Amino acid sequence: MKRNILSVPMERVEQGASKPSQDLVAVEDPLQIRLGDRDVAITMRTPGQDRELAAGFLLSEGILQSRDQIESISEDERGTVTIIPSASAPIDWEHLARNFYVTSSCGVCGKASIDALRSAGCRALPRGQFQISAQTLSTLPQKLRAAQPVFEHTGGLHAAGLFNAAGDLLALREDVGRHNAVDKLFGSAFLENRLPLSEHVLMLSGRVSFELVQKALMAGIPMVAAVGAPSSLAIETALRFGITLVGFLRDARFNIYSVPERCDYRVFKTVPGTGSK
């Protein structure tokens, strides 16, 4: 059985200094869902209760309506759950062929195998073109929060912000889904022909999962920072493609999980309003 928690190396930055350390992160790994001999979906999840996840997905998508329509459920060590429908199950196979199902948490839509998911063919980003000071980086969460107009009233939205190296907020989008907020942000830049965003930081109001790092890669973002935790696959993806990944960015403290040279923490003064040094 796959682990759902992983210990990873990182650089802990605090009080103007950095030191190697370890952190426990939630594992994120692809799960492939098959109905009979056909691929139905690939979704990113923390391993555990995979059979329940697959069955619930098919139920919520209206593909299956009752337990009687399932003849058997099996899973393998590669991360695939296969559901064999009963002979009497009214599966609309033509509909499935026309509409390849993926969940809203999956950032690689249309991929029919886990191998294709892991070998997307994207190139690593250049490492020498962007740098931001630790002091400036530490001001981003407060600036993001202050610029969330809908969150101020509802308290229930995720935010994605685009910042430059000077700490200026250039654009912000809110949505009930983290992935939707990022898609809106990058979609705006795409429609305005401003890609790649090679001189910018993507600031997130929550945790960092694989698909958010992948979206950043597609937009050419060299640094992703978040107030929450990264998953194991988010870290693996950032390392593979040369993206600086920062987590737990709070109160002038943060963890750098990949490509730390993009953050200059040699001079780290007190950040106004945090009480930290």
pTM: 0.73
How many CB atoms lie under 10 A from the CB of residue 129?
A: 10
Comparing C-alpha atoms, which of 77, 54, 73 is closest to residue 1?
77
pLDDT at 169: 97
Judge whether 184 and 161 are in contact, CB under 8 Å.
no
pLDDT at 62: 74
Q: What are phi and psi of 213, to 5 degrees?
A: -65, -40
CA angle, residues 141, 104, 86, in degrees to nearest 5 = 155
pLDDT at 156: 62
pLDDT at 197: 93
Q: What tokens were used for 243?
A: 């993206």
Please give the single-letter amino acid code of residue 14. E
Comparing C-alpha atoms, which of 10, 271, 3 is closest to residue 138?
271
pLDDT at 176: 74
How many CB atoms lie under 10 A from the CB of residue 48?
A: 12
Distance CA 159, CA 145 (A): 8
Q: Which domains does the chain have, with CATH numbers?
A: 29-118 (3.10.20.10), 123-264 (3.40.140.10)
**Torsion of the alpha carbons at 120, 116, 229 and 223, rounded to the nearest 10:** 0
The one catalytic residue in 106, 109, 122, 263 is: 106
**Strand, coil or helix: 39:** strand
pLDDT at 155: 59
Q: What tokens were used for 11?
A: 């650089």
For residue 175, the cross-strand partners are: 158
Please give the single-letter amino acid code of residue 215. K
How many CB atoms lie under 10 A from the CB of residue 183?
A: 17
Rg (CA), the chain: 21
pLDDT at 103: 40
Please give the single-letter amino acid code of residue 91. I
For 92, 108, 125, 158, the CA distances from 204, given in Å and listed in that order, are 39, 20, 20, 8
Which tens digit of pLDDT belongs to each residue from 101-118?
444 344 444 333 334 434
Which strand (E) or helix (H) includes residue 8? strand 5-14
pLDDT at 6: 87
Distance CA 196, CA 148 (A): 25
pLDDT, block means (10 residues), the chain with 277 residues: 83 88 86 89 83 82 81 92 88 62 41 42 80 94 85 69 97 84 90 90 94 88 96 89 95 92 73 45
| Catalytic site includes residue 106 | yes
Residues 6+ apart with CB under 8 A from 170: 162, 163, 164, 200
Distance CA 167, CA 165 (A): 5
For residue 160, the cross-strand partners are: 173, 204
